[in-house]
A and B are shown apart, each in its own frame.
Chain A
Amino acid sequence: MTSRDTSVLLDIRDLSVRFNTDSGVVHAVNHLNLSLHRGKALGFVGETGAGKTTTALAILRLIQSPPGQITSGEILFEGHDIMKMTEAEKRHIRGNRIAMIFQDPMTSLNPIMTVEDQITEMISLHSNLMGNEVSKRAREMLALVGIRPERAKDYPHQFSGGMRQRVGIAIALACEPALLIADEPTTALDVTIQAQVLELIKDLQSVVKTSLLLITHDLGIVAEICQDVAIMYAGRLVEYSDIRSLYGHPMHPYTQGLFNAVPNLDSPLGGKLAVIPGLPPDPTDLPKGCSFSPRCPYAQAVCHEKACGMREVAPNHFVDCYFPLGVEGGQRS
């Protein structure tokens, strides 16, 4: 994970983000280490509130400064630390080298601008194209996401949720960014539309040749699109590997809980749904030691005392656990 080869596009080191609110300090992200390789798709999985969106916003430095604060860490993009960049440099990156697709298509588009204008704005900001060429490119993008060019002058409210999300994708990919961050792009959509949009993202990823950071809580989606997957819990990374390895034998108790919680068509009728007992911890009052220990069925004394930290337990398979499942010295699953 700490490799320094040039295939690493994004390297997040020891990132911590907190929010100072009236009800206490929210530790949203804690000492996160994550890297993404060029040309690959990384699935970033966790429950709501685990800190995934915050991480994404931190990458783009879009975290509102009161009340949010990045208290530590470096974010290396193409070798340069984003944390140390000037405002102008950051603006150059946003949209141009790193682009983001947001979660809720109903509210993430400006209601009083035509969809074409919203794309052209992106293009004009980062390229030297002029006038007609800009509109032409905008329409190309619309066509790419499956929206007829006649609708270019329509407004967001005239589109359905799925179509609006496609517009969002068009905007994000307009300048052919090196990294695309998709924050739960299909969560707000109907299941049937979800499949379409995912297909689109997958296709475009290879056409435009961007790397993808896909944030989601849905393990199924990750399996479809990504090569690597990282599991996040309470602001920390708890497991990271490639798909085959992680889906084949999940090692962190939380990850196992996630897989168990997915209903299985083959399980006997009348059985109960498996849940992970307990609730996620209060982000203003995180437990000492491993954040998952209060709920972990295999927790031992040391787990409550001190967090383990990510360690490579199998080739390219990292777990933040003293007793990873299925490993000698750990618990049998």
Chain B
Amino acid sequence: MIIIFTILYFTPGDPAQVALGQEATPETIAAFHAKHGLDMPFPAQLGRYLYKAVFEGDLGYSYVMKSPVSMELATRVPVTIRLAFWAVVISTLIGIPLGVICAIRQYSLLDSLTTLVTLLGVSMPTFWTGILLIIAFSVHLGWLPSMGFDTVGEMVLPIVTLSGSSVAVIARTTRASMLEVIGSDYIRTARAKGQRESVVILRHALPNAMIPILTIISMQFGMLLGGSIVTEAIFSISGVGRLMLEAINMRDYPIIQGGTLFISVAFCLINLAVDILYAFIDPRIHVK
């Protein structure tokens, strides 16, 4: 497991480099190529880049923005992290209990409603959710602003937008996982001990159901990171996502590389953290 992650750690910059390397050549900035070693053989470039990134914290320099990539990232990362963090927290806090309740009261009105709503939630493109929310709450009701991310009021809509599809996925997965666990023999054993139903659900069923749920949550991070690009664009939030977008539009390769590297690494680390969490919850897994 750790081996895999070490390998992954070193290769995420790859696709970005490959994708952009070809494009770089027709550019007329040949002088820069020579100066910054862009005409070195590919593996050497990659090695050099990674070396500088890891050991010197130097992710290159953006010619478009006229400042080091790391600095640009540093100002924006906290914003995106806050956005993503809240989105995850809210989707988990709403999604899991909802899923549990639906599993307990299968086929009830609440369950059917939730199934329907989650179906919609999974199918709505993030950007559309955002736009709709803006139309509803900003334009017509005038309750909440549609830009920026500093005040609590400003934070509400973006977070809701971003967590939209996550809540749906988490709720669905929780429900499915709980249903499967509740049908297990050991739940019957627990009841045969004379245990109260609430304890059976919360202390026997839920922890066992968490394993697949955690997998989904960590996958959601990937979706969230992507979704943040869109959300930040709509709500004019200056986070990493929007930075990437602008960089792509302006062909600002260093930022694209640095940003991709950063995001991929973050993703890997989060996956790693989740894997470690597994080991705590499920004693059958041994971390070597």
Contact = CB atoms under 8 A, between A and B. Distances in A.
Given A91-B196, A95-B194, A108 B189 contact: yes
The 10 closest A-B pairs by CB, nearest first: A94-B194, A95-B194, A95-B193, A107-B185, A108-B185, A110-B186, A91-B194, A155-B283, A108-B189, A100-B192
Nearest to B191: A62
Contacts of B195: 91, 95, 121, 125
Interface in A95-149: 95-96, 99-100, 102, 104, 107-114, 121-122, 125-126
A92 interface: yes
A91 B190 CA distance: 11
Contacts of A126: 194
A310 interface: no
B194 A110 contact: no
A110 B189 contact: yes
B190 A110 contact: yes
A99 B190 CA distance: 11
Contact of A125 (B186, B189, B194, B284): B194
A60 B186 contact: no
Contacts of B283: 111-112, 114, 155, 157
Contact of B194 (A92, A102, A104, A155): A92
A114 B284 CA distance: 11
A111 B281 CA distance: 10
Interface of A: 60, 62, 90-96, 99-100, 102, 104, 107-114, 121-122, 125-126, 155, 157, 168, 171
A102 B284 contact: no
B138 interface: no
Contacts of B184: 107
B186 A109 contact: yes
Given A91-B194, A96-B194, A157-B284, 16 more contacts: A92-B194, A93-B194, A95-B192, A99-B192, A100-B192, A107-B186, A109-B186, A110-B189, A110-B190, A110-B204, A111-B186, A112-B207, A112-B282, A112-B283, A113-B204, A125-B195
B238 interface: no
Given A62-B188, A102-B188, A110 B208 contact: yes
Most buried by A among B188, B190, B194, B204: B194
Interface of B: 184-186, 188-196, 204, 207-208, 281-284
Contacts of A168: 189
A173 B283 CA distance: 26
Contacts of B191: 62, 94
B203 to A, nearest CB: 9
Most buried by A among B191, B193, B208, B284: B193
5 contacts: A91-B196, A96-B194, A100-B192, A102-B189, A121-B190
Contact of A104 (B185, B192, B204): B185
Contacts of B193: 94-95, 121-122, 125, 171
B187 to A, nearest CB: 8
A185 to B, nearest CB: 13
Contacts of A93: 194
Contacts of A100: 192
Contacts of B282: 111-112
Most buried by B among A108, A126, A168, A171: A108
A109 B192 CA distance: 12
A100 B189 CA distance: 8
A178 to B, nearest CB: 14
Nearest to B281: A112
A109 B195 CA distance: 14
B90 to A, nearest CB: 27
Most buried by A among B184, B185, B204: B185
A92 B192 CA distance: 10
B287 to A, nearest CB: 15
B284 A155 contact: yes
A113 B281 CA distance: 10
Contacts of A107: 184-186
A113 B283 CA distance: 8
A155 to B, nearest CB: 5
Contacts of B284: 111-112, 155, 157
Nearest to A96: B194
A313 B196 CA distance: 45
Contacts of A114: 283
B269 to A, nearest CB: 26
A96 B194 CA distance: 8
A21 B281 CA distance: 36
Contacts of A62: 188, 191-192
